[in-house]
Amino acid sequence: MFVYLRTEKEIMAKDYTPKEEQIARFAKALGHPARVAILRFLASQDCCFFGDIHEVLPIAKATVSQHLTELKNAGLIQGEIQPPKVKYCIDPSQWALAKELIGEFMSCCNPESGKCCK
């Protein structure tokens, strides 16, 4: 009898839905308090420049830049180069998508329903 042994890559591979993957990208971007603070600041502005963000947050410029990259990669913010500065703002369509998907996900498990562990 032949027994097929799966590789570690095959064992780790999962078929996630596009929604699950998108929720995970948003969750990763929201997974650091500095990024949450950056988003809160940007949400209170029409737009702002990198220097404005750096002045508000008590972290190094390089660290702010890394956090902005994570938020941009997740699609939650947009950056536009206006030499010699970079202007950032919330991406309204992705922000709405994040609210929708995360809200939908959070409402799918209702501990009060008795279907979840107590």
User: Which pLDDT does position 14 carry in this prediction?
Assistant: 72
Q: What percentage of the chain exceeds 90 in pLDDT? A: 57
108 within some domain: no
Q: Which residue intervals of the chain are DSSP H helices?
A: 8-12, 18-29, 33-43, 50-56, 61-73, 92-108
Q: CATH code at 80?
A: 1.10.10.10
Which tokens in the block code for residue 4?
């097929």
Is 50 contained in some domain?
A: yes
Could you tell me the residue range of the domain that residue 34 belongs to? Answer: 17-103
Number of domain units in the chain: 1
In a domain, 81, yes or no: yes
Instruction: Assess if residue 56 is contained within a domain.
Output: yes
2 domain-assigned: no
* Structure confidence by residue, pLDDT tens digits, 54-85: 888 888 999 999 999 999 999 999 999 989 98
pLDDT confidence of 116, banded at 50, 70, 90? low
Answer whether residue 57 is part of any domain: yes
Q: Which long-range contacts (CB under 8 A, 24 or more apart) does 81-87 make?
A: 82/49, 85/49, 85/50, 85/51, 86/49, 86/50, 87/47, 87/48, 87/49
The pLDDT score that the predictor gives to residue 42 is 94
Residues whose CB falls within 8 Å of the CB of residue 18, separated by 6 or more in sequence, listed in order: none
- pTM for the full predicted model: 0.78
In a domain, 80, yes or no: yes
The answer to whether residue 77 sits within a structural domain is yes
